[in-house]
Every structure is written in structure tokens, then in C-alpha cells.
Chain A
Amino acid sequence: MSAPRSLRTPSQRIAWNATIVVSTLVFIFLMAPILAIMPLSFSSGSYLTYPLPGLSLRWYDDFLNSARWMASLKNSMIIGVASATLSVLLGTLAALGLAQWKSRFKPLVLAVVLSPVVVPGVITAVGLYFFFAPIGLTGSYLGLILAHTALATPFVVITVGATLQSFDTNLARAAASLGASPLYAFRRVILPLILPGLASGALFAFATSFDEVVIVLFMAGPEQRTLPREMFSGIRENISPTITAAAVILTTVSVILLATMEALRRRNERLKGRGA
């Protein structure tokens, strides 16, 4: 890696090289856990050590044929998709409203809307446990979907809000002056333009629910155990290689989500560039 042209003195070059060395070590630190766990899931042995005795897909086979793991994957998908849908609906409406609303209470409302991100998971979980138990929402899908929606909606408000900031409100006015009803204008003019923000918001919301475990620990019955919840008990009891297979599957989902988000971001930037 070559140093920037501005580095002329030897001491600057030393400092730059030190930056590279330290950064490389940090990159290794960041990637090591993910890279170390992946090959273990393909091991033919049942010990989580290197060198691998041989390669096999037996732990994936184990995962796919385990009723418990498959049920948890299904639960994660159901709760993730449902809460992402609900948060996109609520979050987009709120972002549209917040973009136009002018009031001295706006910072307060914004703080309330975004607070689920900051409040520690245990506090939210304990509160929900107390609040939902008397009305029969603990140990139910509905309770978990509602709870995850509350956690995920701030991300939709943020991403859609960011897209709306670069949105030219004159376009909505133009549509209205040409006789479009507000709903028609939203569907044909606003929605297509904020769609990338909406999609990233949906992915963020899904990822939030898909990764959440504290609320699930408090609220889920045996029927609603999600993939992270199953991993939590697995890690607590005894880490079997099946968990590493589950981990690789979870990581693959994350990579797909990340790649999609990145593609959306690039597309959005390209569109913005064309507009300017």
C-alpha cells in the first residue's frame, strides 16, 4: 500500500506504516471470529478444533433435519417479515409526516420515536414482560411481532427520512397542480423516488428483528423460539458443531442483507448524481 503523496519525511512514512500495521491487526481482529467459525462448520469431526479431521456437510445435514432448528428458523422468518412489514408501514407514514410537520414539539416527538434504539434491551424486555403478560401477549407471535416492530421502526424513520431530505417537494406540488389526488401523487411520484430508502429501512428492520434475542428470551414461549434464541441456549449448554452451521447460515443472511443495502445505496447515489 503506497503512502499518500504528502508524506515526505521519514518520520511521516514510519507513522503511516505503523498505521497500516495496526489497522491490519484490527482488521484481523474484526474478521477473525467469522473466518474461524466458518471452516469448523464443514468439519467431519465433532470437536471445534483445528486441524479439521476432514470435510463434510454433516452439521448442515443435522441442522436441516433438526425439527428444533428448522422451527426456530421459521419463527425468525415469520417474526422478521411481519415486523419489517409493520415497521415500514408505520415508519414511512411517520417519516412523511415528520418531514412536513413544523412544531416546537418536533424534537420531543423525534426523541420518543428514536428512543427504542437507545434504551437498553433488558429494560424494554422487562417492561414488555410486565405489560404484555396480563393481556396474554407473552408467549405469542403477536406479542413478539409488536415488540420487534417497536425496536425496528426507528431505523425505517431514519432511512426514509434521509431519502425524503433529498426529495424535491416541488415534484409533489407539480403532481398536485396537474390534478393528481394526494394518494395518486404518492403512488406515482413520491413512492418510486423514496423506494430505495424504504427498501433499506425494511432490510434494517428485518435485520433488527432477525438478530434480536433479549426480548425473545423474556417473552417467547417454547413455540416461538427464534434462531438467535436457540443459539443462546446452545451456547449456554454446550457448543455443538451444529451451532457453527447455524452461525454460518445466519452470517450468510447478513451478507446478503449487507450486499443488498450497499447496492441500494449506490443506486441512490447514482440517481442523486444524475439529478445534480
Chain B
Amino acid sequence: MKLYEYVIRRLVLMVFVLLAVSVIVFVITRGVPSPTYALAPYITPRMTDPQKLQTAVGLGIAEPSCPSWVDFTQSAPGCITPLYVQYFSWLKQVLSGNWGNSVIPSIGVGQSTWGLFVARFPYTAELAVAAALITVLFALPMGIVSATHNNKVPDHFSRIVALVGYSMPVFWLAFILQIIFVIYLTLTIHGNTFGLLPSSQTVGTDCALCIPNPGNINTYTGAPILDAILSLNPAYFWDALLALILPAITLAFSTLGALTRIVRSSMMEALRQDYILLARSKGLRERTVIYRHALKNALLPAITITGLILATLLGGAVVVEEVFSWPGVGQAALDASLFLDINFLELYTLVTALIIVVANLGVDVLYAFIDPRIRY
């Protein structure tokens, strides 16, 4: 089978996975709490009861035969449309691109859920990619050095770093970094004292290193750094980069440990193999032996983990986004679950599932490029 045939087959399978996820999400959001929650974005206190009921009927939640709004809220028999019927009418609506409206106070009221998600996702993506990059850039060398200097100082050092990152609560690390870089390390400019780095995703004047009034950028992608590059605005780029530093480091530090450990153990495993002895017996440089012969064999498990890490990060780092006021989907998801914004939660869960499925597919495709024995 050719690689592209395999990819197509996996993509077809993906549709079924997502349908299954949508059923679970639907049952949890609509079946478990009162059916009125699904109505929340569409009814206002000023509406009369018959108007409210009409809205519910229009949304396919209430049966037309339901006598009154009160009966509906009390789930009287024959009033609420059966869940599977609701599911199909919801699915039809969603597939046509209508995800409903959002009810999150201050950030989403009145906005369409899809619009809210699309506006916020680039921020999450930017943070996730930055954190994943930092993770890989540090974990890979740390894992390799750990394996080649097994039980020596570099190994102990990287193991301690990995363990600390692994076990430190993310919100706590975020606070520590904020205290150090925003409160302790300060600079006074023109009589005003600023923290070294910004504590949130704001561009402008709230940090010492920031460039005040960096001007405006055009929105091409929605991700500030990318848009700053595309708009050729170096000042804006610099500010956006500064804002990214603390949250990205916090996130990376928490995912670093897992990858370091995986790289370390798979490198050690690879270095024990017979082909390493043959490579050394050929008089190759130790560098070549480690980075060409061992690393290529050790990369497979590392890629699996990296794919999962990136997928998880793209799903939104709820805690980090909240602490750093990062306007991504994770922060919105937290608010959505607090205010029972069912529409947003449904969209968020499905997109997260989609990302994980796609990341897994990407990892499987990468395997075939790295290991010639893997053919689909």
C-alpha cells in the first residue's frame, strides 16, 4: 500500500472517531444537565414564556406539542425532544457551520461560538508551537547528553531538571516566574518602574524591555507574532515575543521532563545495540556514532511523545493561559465550563479531538520517513 492510500484510509477512519466523540460530547453536555442550558444563549429575561418555548421548539429541543414553558422547564413528559433526535438536528446544524452563540460574560456574549473560537485559536497555536519548540530544543540535547554521560554530572543535572519540571505544579511555576520577572526584576524608566517582562499577552508599555507604542499590524493569521512578521513591524514583533517568553517557558518546563526521559532511555537503548559496536569498529568519529547511528534509531519514541505533547498544547493550556491572561482557547474553555457555555465546550472538545487524531496520523507518517522498515 502506498503512503497516500494509508493517509486517506486514516482520514476516513478519523471521521468515525470524530462522530463518536461528538456523540459523547453531546450526551454529556445536553443529556446530563437540564435541557434549558442549551437554550441559554438564545433566550433573554425580557422574552415572554411562549416566546421562550417557541425558541426551544425552533432549536429542536422542545416538542411542538409541549403545552407551556413551565412544563418544559420541569421536563414534563412529551415536552422534551428525545436526545437522539436532538443529536441529529444538532449535527445537521453543526455540519452546516452553525455552532450557535456564546454566553461567556465579557468575552463572548452575543458572539458566534465559531467566531470566538477562530479568534482565539491562533493565540493558543502560537503559544503551543513556541512551547513545543522549546521543549524539543532542550529535551533532545539533554536526553542525548544524559545517555552518553550516563550516571555522570550532566546526566544527574538533566535528570534533576526533568524531574523538577515533571513534578512542579504548572500554576505555581507560572507564579514564581511572574514574581521574578515582573515584580522583583524591575527597571525604572522616566520615573516609572516596570517589570522586566510583561505578565500578560499585551503589546505596548507594561514592561521595561517592551517598546512602547509599537504601532499596528494587519490581521492575517490572528497570531500576533506571525502577523507582526507579515506586517513587517519589528517593534510589534519584539513586544509580542516578550509576552510569549514566560508562558512558553512555563509550559515547556512542564512537558520537558517526559521527552527528556524518553530520549535518554531510547538513546541508551540504541547505544547498547550491536550496530553501534560495528559503527565504532569502522573508526567513525564518536560524534557520527552518536548523532547518526544511535539518534536516528532513538528518534521514533521521541517523535511519538513530541506529537502528543504538541497535540495536548494545541488543545489549549488552560492553567497557563489563565494565569498569564493569554487570550487563547484554553482560557475561554475554562470560562465556558464555569458559565456552562455548552456550544463552546462542544466545539472546543471536538477540535481538540481532531488535533489529537491528526497529530497521531502525522506521527505515523513521520515514522515511515525515519524508519525504512515501516511501510504502510
Q: Are both chains from one complex? A: no
State the A residues within 8 Å of B (CB). Answer: none
State the B residues within 8 Å of A (CB). Answer: none
